[in-house]
């Protein structure tokens, strides 16, 4: 029975809002942010083996740790060179947030009907907008509940479930909430499931805000964006915004203005310490070694007494086993990384090519580094991603990522003004993870039969399609081309080109090598770039889009470099030619053919000749390139000079 929305919400949420309060704990000593210098005598593994509370890592240079009582003495025993960056982290996070909030007008809150208080009674509550939450700009646990209630009550299109599910209860008796999104359909529902979670670590509230930002963006686009409509119609999306309610409530109690540094849950441990690191408590490779997790209860990466010893991880386990999601995201902060299995060891998964393909798509346009945790950040065992992907006895394999949201300046509590920008830069990742749970068709390549698109003349554009998703395309896959720029046209307008059905991660040309006829008017300047949108459709409401770009005019090629030798180039030390790369059969230049480039390097490659551009209106440097750069430290610049100096 599909209950009336408000009634269903009231019946379910009245009970799920209750929790057992615990006495207010004593305030802990302030946390210090300490930077430890790494070198050959003090590798990262030495820090991991002592189980410090690691915040950020620059491999081969330094590691930032959140130093708690006794940590500085331990560093001194190690002989580790370090300096204190911040001697009162919680206080300074809160102060900087309050300064920013005080300097701007206070926005009007939204009035929502919510059962956010412990008595479970529905009232009209005030929900601050994103970036203006009551805890240093972030939503409190009660405000998270208000947001969930508002999503349920405000849905008029059957896109949000009629109730919030309580999927488990914490050590202190708080509910763990899950909200389902997707066009209503009767069970059994064959649509691929996708799972998103946040606040596994209690101080990482930006992940929760980024998750809600995605939810709002997806729902807002349903009536105007065919891709958003397809995802909501053809996916079962579950969001668990607060995996660790007890830890988050503890941070609110201890640091109500934000900045709290509690990470674990609130399990009372033997010896008087509290907490288990929930992201070391999952069952796959739990306790694999004493680098990726700790067996000491007082340490911040304590893995617990057994796999799934905690009610919070049990709730996640049971929910994922029931959902059988194809893909997922577990939000964390910070480091500007996009991590995937394996985390327990520096071992590439068997389907690395798929991960790399998705990583490139997900991080396009951002500075996030994607890859295995041990290669990008550090080793972890018993984490959510490894269990989701590695445990195939309890449920099918789930491809799950961890965005480590924010950079070193953002830290664990980014400024309120950074909440929305950081959420925005993770929208692409959220959409991609939902898309690849089923079929997701993109452009693999394109070509012009005539070689060029000359203004005033037609050309035949061939588009090769690739299904990057984990589901096969429905029957009757076809593409339509739409011009995006003035002066560009498709003839006849609205013409479709058919494609064969595509299995997961396969490619094909159009059926019968069909092409689109395109043209640019004679008013388009030669050398200008024009764009066309390719809309892919199929049965069952399938939709995806991509963009193809074409340079108008027949170019005069002044330089075509085969990369066989550096004869025509002036290069700094280190540059060389690679001729035996199985992934790239053609020769290419690289600044580091033998491995990583050195620290503080400035590696230049300069063409010796001069190129005469006087006859052209537009000039293009078209190159195939791939970079692997360390964000905030390294960069790549392609420059042209008119005088060989500036």
Q: Is residue 328 part of a domain?
A: yes
- Per the model's pLDDT, the better-predicted residue between 8 and 596 turns out to be 596
Average pLDDT over residues 425-434: 98
Is pLDDT of 339 > 50?
yes
Reference 194, options 423, 498, 437, 413; nearest CA is 437
Q: Are residues 258 and 379 in the same domain?
A: yes
Report which of 248, 251, 243 is spatially closest to residue 313, judged by C-alpha positions: 243
Q: φ and ψ at 153, to 5 degrees?
A: -70, -30
The predicted structure's pLDDT at residue 631: 67
Angstrom CA distances, 565 to 561, 587, 604, stand at: 9, 9, 16
* CA angle 444–449–450, rounded 5-degree value: 135
Residue 615, pLDDT score: 82
In this structure, the dihedral spanned by the alpha carbons of residues 625, 628, 632 and 638, taken in order and rounded to 10 degrees, is -20
Domain end (from 420, 435, 450)? 435
Paired with 177 in beta bridges are 166
**Tally of domains within the chain:** 4
Tell me, yes or no, whether 339 and 482 share the same domain. Answer: no
Residue found by looking up tokens 């488990």 in the block: 168
Residue 69: predicted pLDDT: 94
99 part of a folded domain: no
Q: What is the DSSP letter of 279?
A: G
Secondary structure string (H, E, C) spanning 477-529? CEEEEEECCCCEEEECCCCEEECCCCCCCEEECCHHHCCEEEEECCCCCCCCE
Residue bearing tokens 């009550």: 153
Q: Return the half-sphere exposure (C-beta side, CA atoms, 13 A cut-off) of residue 70.
A: 6
360 and 429 housed in the same domain: yes
Cβ–Cβ under 8 Å, residues 607 and 568:
yes
Q: Please report whether residue 92 resides in a domain.
A: no
The pLDDT tens digits of the residues spanning 293-308 come to 999 999 999 999 999 9
Q: Return the top range by mean pLDDT from 60-64, 350-354, 570-574, 580-584.
A: 350-354
Contacts with 255 (C-beta within 8 Å, 6 or more apart), sequence order: 90, 93, 94, 135
**Residue where one domain finishes, among candidates 491, 522, 551:** 551
| Burial tier of 456 (Cβ tally within 10 Å: 0-12, 13-18, 19+) | exposed
Confidence of residue 40 (pLDDT cuts 50, 70, 90): confident
Structure tokens at 508: 């094909």
80: left (phi over 0), alpha (psi -120 to 50) or beta: beta
The predicted pLDDT at position 173 comes to 97
Average pLDDT of span 462-484: 98
Residues 257 and 215 in one domain: yes
- Clarify whether residues 340 and 254 are in a common domain: yes
Bond before 334 cis per omega within 30 degrees:
yes
* Position 234 pLDDT exceeds 70: yes
454 and 421 in a common domain? no
Alpha helices in 175-222 (DSSP H): 205-220
Asked if residue 299 belongs to a domain, the reply is no
Same domain, 546 and 459: yes
- Residue 197: closest CA among 185, 184, 207, 186: 207
Mean pLDDT of the chain: 93
Pairs from 582-588 (Cβ < 8 Å, separation ≥ 24): 586/562, 587/562, 587/563, 588/563, 588/624
The reply to whether 46 and 15 lie within a common domain is no
Task: Say what the pLDDT of residue 7 is.
Answer: 36
Give the domain CATH number at 408.
3.40.630.10
pLDDT bucket at 19, cuts 50 / 70 / 90: very low
Query: Read out DSSP for 260-274?
Result: ----S--PBPTTS-B
Residue 202: per-residue pLDDT: 98
pLDDT tens figures, 404-413: 999 999 999 9
Is 67 part of any domain?
yes
In percent, how much of the chain has pLDDT > 90? 81
> Tell me: the pLDDT tens digits for 43-63?
899 999 999 999 999 888 899
Give tens-digit pLDDT for 89-118: 999 999 999 999 999 999 999 999 999 888
Q: Please tell me the chain's helix, strand, coil percentages from 3-state DSSP, rounded to the nearest 5.
A: 25, 25, 50
Residues 334 and 429 in one domain: yes
pLDDT, one tens digit per residue, over 362-393 is 999 998 999 999 999 999 999 999 999 999 99
pLDDT at 4: 42
Sign of CA dihedral 432, 433, 438, 444: positive
Chain centroid to CA 283: how far? 23
Q: Are residues 203 and 245 both part of a single domain?
A: yes
The yes-or-no verdict on residue 620 having pLDDT over 90 is no
Q: Where are the beta strands (DSSP E) in 553-617?
A: 569-571, 576-578, 588-590, 605-607
Q: Contact 9/149 with Cβ under 8 angstroms?
A: yes
Rg value, the chain, Cα: 27
Please report, rounded to a whole number, the percentage of residues in the chain having pLDDT higher than 70. 96
Q: Which residue has the tokens 């360390």?
A: 630
Residue 449 lies in a domain: yes
Q: Domain holding 516: CATH number?
A: 2.60.40.10
pTM for the full predicted model: 0.92
Q: How far is residue 333's CA from residue 331's CA, in Å, rounded to a whole number?
A: 7
Domain extent, residue 470, equals 441-551
Has residue 424 been placed in a domain?
Answer: yes
> Is 26 among the domain residues?
no
Looking up residue 45, the CATH number of its domain turns out to be 3.30.70
The CA-based dihedral angle spanning residues 84, 90, 91, 92, taken in that order and rounded to the nearest 10 degrees: 60
Residue ending a domain, among 59, 87, 115, is: 87
Token reading at 434: 């939902």
60 token code pair: 């081969």
- 3-class SS at 249? helix
Considering the domain architecture, whether residues 364 and 231 belong to the same structural domain is answered as yes
Residues written for the chain: 646
pLDDT at 389: 98
Q: Are 412 and 375 contained in the same domain?
A: yes
What is the CB neighbour count within 10 angstroms for residue 450?
13
Asked if residue 349 lies in contact with residue 342, where contact means CB atoms within 8 angstroms, the answer is yes
Task: Give residue-wise pLDDT tens across range 130-189.
Answer: 999 999 999 999 999 999 999 999 999 999 999 999 999 999 999 999 999 999 988 889
Report how far residue 110's alpha carbon sits from residue 88's, in angstroms, rounded to the nearest whole number: 34
CA distances from 574 to 104, 204, 398, 571, 630 (A): 51, 41, 41, 8, 18
Beta-carbon neighbour count of residue 119 at 10 Å? 9
Q: What is the pLDDT of residue 619?
A: 87
């Amino acid at each position: 029975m599909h209950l009336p929305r408000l009634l269903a919400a009231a019946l379910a949420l009245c009970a799920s809002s209750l929790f057992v309060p615990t006495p207010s704990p004593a305030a802990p000593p302030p946390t210090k942010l300490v930077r430890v210098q790494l070198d050959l005598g003090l590798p990262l593994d030495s820090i991991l083996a002592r189980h410090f509370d690691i915040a950020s890592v620059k491999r081969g240079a330094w590691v930032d740790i959140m130093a708690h009582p006794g940590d500085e003495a331990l560093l001194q025993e190690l002989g580790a060179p370090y300096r204190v960056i911040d001697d009162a982290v919680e206080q300074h996070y809160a102060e900087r947030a309050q300064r920013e909030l005080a300097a701007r007008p206070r926005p009007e809150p939204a009035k929502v009907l919510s059962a956010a208080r412990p008595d479970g009674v529905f009232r009209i509550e005030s929900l601050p907008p994103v970036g203006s939450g009551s805890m240093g700009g972030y939503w409190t646990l009660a405000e998270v509940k208000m947001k969930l209630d508002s999503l349920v009550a405000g849905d008029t299109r059957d896109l949000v479930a009629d109730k919030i599910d309580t999927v488990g209860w914490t050590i202190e008796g708080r509910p763990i909430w899950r909200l389902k999104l997707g066009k209503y359909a009767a069970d059994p529902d064959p649509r691929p499931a996708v799972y998103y979670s946040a606040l596994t670590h209690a101080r990482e509230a930006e992940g929760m805000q980024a998750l809600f930002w995605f939810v709002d963006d997806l729902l807002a686009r349903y009536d105007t964006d065919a891709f958003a409509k397809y995802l909501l119609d053809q996916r079962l999306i579950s969001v668990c915004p607060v995996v660790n309610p007890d830890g988050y409530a503890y941070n609110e109690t201890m640091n109500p203005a934000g900045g709290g540094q509690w990470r674990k849950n609130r399990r009372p441990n033997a010896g008087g310490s509290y907490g288990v690191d929930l992201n070391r408590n999952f069952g796959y490779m739990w306790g694999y070694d004493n680098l990726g997790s700790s067996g000491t209860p007082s340490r911040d990466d304590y893995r617990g007494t057994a796999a799934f010893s905690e009610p919070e991880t049990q709730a996640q386990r049971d929910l994922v086993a029931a959902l059988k999601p194809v893909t997922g995201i577990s939000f964390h902060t910070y480091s500007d990384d996009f991590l995937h299995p394996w985390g327990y060891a520096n071992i590439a998964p068997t389907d690395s090519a798929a991960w790399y393909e998705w990583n490139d798509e997900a991080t396009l346009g951002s500075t996030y580094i994607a890859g295995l945790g041990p290669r990008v950040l550090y080793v972890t065992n018993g984490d959510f991603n490894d269990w989701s992907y590695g445990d195939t006895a309890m449920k099918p394999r789930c491809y799950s990522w961890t965005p480590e949201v924010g950079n070193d300046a953002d830290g664990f509590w980014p400024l309120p003004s950074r909440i929305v920008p950081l959420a925005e830069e993770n929208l692409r990742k959220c959409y991609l993870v939902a898309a690849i749970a089923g079929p997701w068709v993109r452009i693999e390549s394109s070509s012009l039969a005539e070689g060029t698109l000359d203004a005033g003349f037609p050309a035949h554009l061939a588009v090769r399609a690739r299904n990057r998703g984990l589901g096969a395309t429905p029957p009757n896959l076809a593409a339509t081309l739409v011009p995006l720029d003035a002066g560009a046209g498709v003839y006849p307008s609205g013409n479709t080109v058919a494609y064969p059905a595509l299995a997961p991660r396969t490619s094909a040309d159009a059926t019968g090598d069909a092409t689109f006829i395109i043209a640019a008017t004679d008013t388009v300047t030669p050398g200008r770039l024009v764009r066309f949108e390719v809309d892919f459709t199929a049965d069952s409401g399938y939709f995806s889009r991509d963009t193809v770009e074409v340079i108008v005019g027949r170019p005069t090629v002044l330089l075509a470099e085969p990369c066989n030798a550096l004869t025509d180039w002036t290069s700094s030390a280190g540059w060389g030619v690679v001729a035996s790369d199985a992934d790239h059969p053609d020769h290419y230049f690289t600044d580091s053919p033998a491995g990583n480039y050195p620290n503080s390097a400035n590696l230049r490659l300069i063409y010796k000749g001069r190129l005469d551009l006087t006859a052209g209106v537009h000039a293009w440097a078209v190159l195939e390139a791939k970079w692997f750069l360390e964000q905030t430290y390294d960069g790549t610049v392609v420059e042209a000079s008119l005088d060989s100096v500036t």
